[in-house]
A and B are shown apart, each in its own frame.
Chain A
Amino acid sequence: MSEQIATVTWINGPVVRARGSRHVSMLELVEVGEERLVGEVIGLNGDIITAQVYEETSGMRPGAPMYGTGLPLSVELGPGLLKSIFDGVQRPLPLIEMQSGSFIGRGMRLDPLYRKDRWKFTPVAKVGDAVNGGMIIATVMETDTFEHRIMVPPDLSGTLTWLASSGEYTLEDVIAKVKVGSEEKELTMLQRWPVRRPRPYKSRLGVNTPLITGQRVLDTFFPVAKGGAAGIPGPFGSGKTVTQHSIAKWADAQVIVYIGCGERGNEMTEVLQEFPHLTDPRSGRPLMERTVLIANTSNMPVAAREASIYTGITIAEYYRDMGYHVALMADSTSRWAEALREVSGRLEEMPAEEGYPAYLAGRLAEFYERAGYVETFNGKSGSVTIVGAVSPPGGDFSEPVTQHTKRFIRCFWALDKSLASARHFPSINWLDSYSEYLEDVAGWWQKQVGTDWLRMRNRAMEILSEEARLSQIVKLVGPDALPDEERLVLETARLLREGFLQQNAMDKVDAYSSLQKQVRMLELILRFHERALRIVKHGAPILLIHELPVVDTLIRMKTNIPNEELEKMDDIQKQIDEQMSRLDSEYR
């Protein structure tokens, strides 16, 4: 299917130049050398073709052949994506292991999706129906509980002339025929889509449903909406990956696409070994069954790292088009940007800031804009939420990747090294973070959880920012110099920090907090504050309040009270009321 189109003339790491055909197109997939290493055309100048190669080029010589494929870099879409682990250009890593052992060999050409599996197929359209791109014509059970919806490819419309009956088919079996004009096209369950082109949808819908993660600091303080985009910047060791893993585990999305982009090998192994044994709290099935992993670790070829982000988002959009909510984690977008920089450097392009190419911002925007809550062509609604980790050098948020990312996301979870050092996890700094989705999702909270969440949340934020101001003073004069009312603010802020914001991802009970638990906890802490404030105003010394037994109870309720036993919270409320009343009666 591919013919030699050019001859290699120059090699520098992942970038090669070749001379030959003028009929190659930009971003076309090419194969280079006798080993047919896969690459992508990134520059054309007369008969000189510049390509980035997704594999190690050691040993390649000028004079080696370059083959064209006529196709852009694409991913395969169809049943079997879930539970898979791919590299950055969608090669299945388990199959690579079977073929080349524990180390990744070169020139491996493997189908991303396994062709021999038979899928149980149930038609839902009828012969004679007018079908257009994105319409659902059949369903397949991809796992025991997940319905994979077979759609007409987006750029096709016509009349359905034949549809396979219920039964088991492989990905290569023809399952439908569509008449387009005078031509009849055969469809299989397998589709291809170029990764750099966003998949189309009917229209964008507003984002007003929160993505629930069970992480208190995120859900309650800085929520991201389904279809929104969030960034997690933080220096090393501040817990980016742990936060990403927590979201991947607990987010209420139906599909998770996790891209390990230029990160550690052991981290991907951890996900691979842990997720099959964890249960999705909603479906009761192993978490792996809703997960697609893309692993292009830091020591794997750098050009494939650049592609991995696009591979992941295209898969996410495909499930969105079926009408599902998808959450995509990209860890880390900085490594992706560095891959861009590395290739740009080898092309000797004029650098902009810190060696990054001038098109960095454009590429970031293109990526984050692929998030969205949409109405699909089949009338369903689905969403892709992007959570991108950013690894700023030296933890300096003024560097280009963090700054440009901030322009295209609306939710910013700033990780803080000093919190991490004190083992305050998740180490999301409540003063530096923000979410622009607060107002958008407030209606949803009101309706679904039925409390005035936003008012409580803002009250708590007020206490925390008051604490920040007061601790400046404390640093100079010590806490004893403050009036008791202000020392109470410090005390409540401590309760909020230790009892609410801190969350232990390793603790069985604490790892996931239901929204009901979150608001109840917040309610109790605020109740404690309001009651205590009254007593302090009556002259009770702050020390007595600090020593109330309920303080410890409030700090420990996150681990002591499971999501299913929230009625125990009423006891705590009673304890607050009793202990406060007792104090109150002494000082009235």
Chain B
Amino acid sequence: MSNVIVQGGQEVLGVGRIDGPILVVEGAANVSYDEVVEIRDSQNRLRRGRVLEVGEKNAVIQVFAGSTGLSIDGTRVRFLGDTLRIPVAEEMLGRVFDGLGNPIDGGPLPLTDTYADVNGQPINPTARVYPRDYIQTGISAIDGMNTLLRGQKLPIFSGAGMPHDQLAAQIVRQATLGAPAGEKPKETESFAIVFAAMGVKHDVADFFRKSFMESGALTRVAMFLNLADDPPVERLVTPRAALTLAEYLAYERGMHVLVILTDMTNYCEALRQISNIRGEVPSRKGYPGYLYSDLASLYERTGRIRTSEGSITQIPILTMPNDDITHPVPDLTGYITEGQITLGRDLDQKGIYPPIAVLPSLSRLMKDGIGQGRTRSDHPRWGAQLYAAYAHMQDVRALASVIGEEELGDVDRKYLEFGRAFEREFVNQSLTENRTIEQTLEIGWRLLSMLPREELTRVTLDEIKTYYKGE
């Protein structure tokens, strides 16, 4: 080995082993865990990496851009003595960056002295403010049944080929701070948007850029792009860089930030890849045992804190492999996030947009953001009633497919009609349709009125008197 230590032990020439994107450097002294390194190949091309494990004699390094072109003797590794930091500034809105936070829009580096550690620090639970303000997205299936609150993390569980991107873009276009039904929304505060793409196709990134541009939001968007043909390892940093900027904007600058992370499944694959190369003991489907903690370190960077007006709301998008909700990625995500918007293949095939399957969807924080003084007093029970009726309709539909619709009782037939109308008129809406909370509640009551009054046991008798329109 020809390891030469130069410049006070900071730079090492030659590596001991190269294994995929992992390098093992021998003879490096004074290396710290999680430190950033610069790696130059024999052509002096620069790439960056991070220390994964460090012992007395060697350090294990993960190269963000992959190890193509690196040789055992010709590689120089320079230890930078600090964990990965990115510049953060308000001027980064309107700009495009790569997965590590370097500008790729031809513009200059952001002009700032503020550099923040991409790993962030956990928010102290005592410093949090519990989310209570709802965001009106103008989409009935969300506002009515799975209300999104400021400071919530609510992922979209989708599958390949379903319109999750369109839905996310529509949410971004239409999101405003909600007001009680019938009242005009207060001065519409607009969100700053931080968009992180992990391993998605160029078209997808383009779609989002166009959509932001058309709605005039582009100046409020910072994009971090690690596309499908970019190095997978870089993907592990992309969401962290994006969230680091989001935290700065929300907690230092008091802005309301909406973070879109897409596609979390690609992120997890990259994590699995690194884990496998390192020979770690796998848990389910080859994913590392720390997948839960790793995902939590991203998703938990959401919320509000007492010392700032701002907030971070996260909408991660993930495609469920083979539409399987029990796959480790959606499964662990669901355990961390505060609910999920699940898209349904059958609704999509029926041409319903957005194809939100309301039964497996959930917003855990909804209960605290709706009702008297927030949306309308009947909203919680109205929602429970719609859920219960739609769930019952599914049973009826299953029965009808066996015995035929004609054999059903009168009440059950009404349920079937209700179910069809619910999907066509409540869930279904156009890409540009922006419904107020009042309209959403009104449609819901109109549908409930298709059912006999005795069936409505979740709402109060007073509510039936006020809103029920059936006979």
Contacts and interface: CB of A to CB of B under 8 A. Distances in A.
Contact of A302 (B290, B332, B365): B290
Contact of A547 (B53, B124, B454): B454
A334 B297 CA distance: 17
Given A342-B290, A423-B391, A478-B399, A266 B338 contact: yes
B303 A265 contact: yes
B292 interface: yes
B32 A59 contact: yes
B54 A422 contact: no
Nearest to B291: A338
B3 interface: no
A9 interface: yes
Contacts of A93: 124-126
Contacts of A286: none
Interface string A12-39: 1100000000000000000000000000
A264 B124 contact: no
A66 to B, nearest CB: 14
Contacts of A391: 335
Given A12-B53, A237-B340, A475 B399 contact: yes
Given A102-B307, A272-B125, A299 B300 contact: yes
A370 interface: no
Contact of B33 (A60, A339, A556): A60
A421 interface: yes
Interface in B110-137: 119-131
Bin chain B's interface residue count: 35 or more
B130 A269 contact: yes
B124 A104 contact: yes
A447 B262 CA distance: 60
Contact of B292 (A59, A97, A262, A551): A262
B402 A475 contact: yes
Given A57-B33, A266-B130, A422-B388, A103 B54 contact: no
A220 to B, nearest CB: 20
A85 B126 contact: yes
A63 B301 CA distance: 33
Given A264-B336, A342-B289, A421 B360 contact: yes
B259 to A, nearest CB: 15
A355 B126 contact: no
B425 interface: no
Contacts of A551: 454
Interface string B330-349: 01101110111000000000
Nearest to B395: A475
Given A59-B34, A264-B336, A552-B454, A299 B392 contact: no
A358 to B, nearest CB: 12
Interface in A515-566: 547, 551-552, 555-556
B55 interface: yes
A270 B56 contact: no
A235 B362 CA distance: 13
Interface string A402-445: 00000000000000000011111000000000000000000000
B122 A103 contact: yes
A206 interface: no
B293 A62 contact: no
Contact of A341 (B35, B283, B407, B454): B283
B380 A302 contact: no
Interface string A473-501: 01111111000000000000000001000
Contacts of B392: 422
Contacts of B82: 59
A302 B289 CA distance: 12
Contact of A298 (B151, B300, B306, B331): B300
B284 interface: yes
A299 B301 contact: yes
Given A237-B334, A475-B402, A479-B409, A351 B54 contact: no
Contacts of B407: 478, 480
Contact of A268 (B83, B125, B338, B398): B125
B219 interface: no
B200 interface: no
A10 B56 contact: yes
A543 to B, nearest CB: 9
Interface string B341-365: 0000000000000000001101011
Given A59-B35, A345-B280, A10 B331 contact: no
Contact of A266 (B52, B131, B409): B131
Interface in B276-334: 280-284, 288-290, 292-293, 296-297, 300-301, 303, 305-308, 325-328, 331-332, 334
Contacts of A237: 334, 339-340, 360, 362, 364
Nearest to B402: A476
Interface in A39-72: 56-63
B6 interface: no
Contacts of B368: 270
Contact of A97 (B127, B331, B335): B127
Nearest to B385: A423
A362 interface: no
A9 B335 contact: no
A128 interface: no
Nearest to B287: A355
A353 B129 CA distance: 40
A335 interface: yes
A50 B284 CA distance: 27
Contacts of A209: none
A269 B128 contact: yes
B50 to A, nearest CB: 10
B31 interface: yes
A338 B457 contact: no
Contact of B284 (A236, A297, A342, A393): A393
Interface in B382-419: 384, 387-388, 391-392, 398-399, 402-403, 407-409
A394 B126 contact: no
Contacts of A63: 30, 56
A477 B281 contact: no
Given A63-B30, A93-B124, A298 B292 contact: yes
25 contacts: A9-B55, A11-B33, A59-B35, A59-B83, A61-B54, A62-B54, A93-B125, A102-B308, A104-B124, A262-B293, A264-B300, A265-B122, A266-B152, A266-B338, A272-B126, A299-B293, A338-B292, A341-B283, A345-B289, A345-B290, A351-B281, A355-B282, A393-B326, A423-B391, A475-B398
Interface of A: 9-13, 56-63, 85, 93-94, 96-97, 100-105, 235-237, 260, 262, 264-266, 268-270, 272-273, 295, 297-300, 302, 335, 338-339, 341-342, 344-345, 348, 351, 354-355, 391, 393-396, 420-424, 474-480, 498, 506, 547, 551-552, 555-556
Given A11-B53, A269-B125, 15 more contacts: A12-B53, A12-B54, A56-B119, A63-B56, A102-B307, A103-B121, A103-B122, A103-B124, A237-B362, A266-B128, A266-B303, A266-B365, A273-B130, A297-B125, A394-B326
What 6 A-B pairs come out closest when comparing CB atoms?
Answer: A394-B326, A298-B296, A422-B391, A236-B334, A58-B34, A299-B300
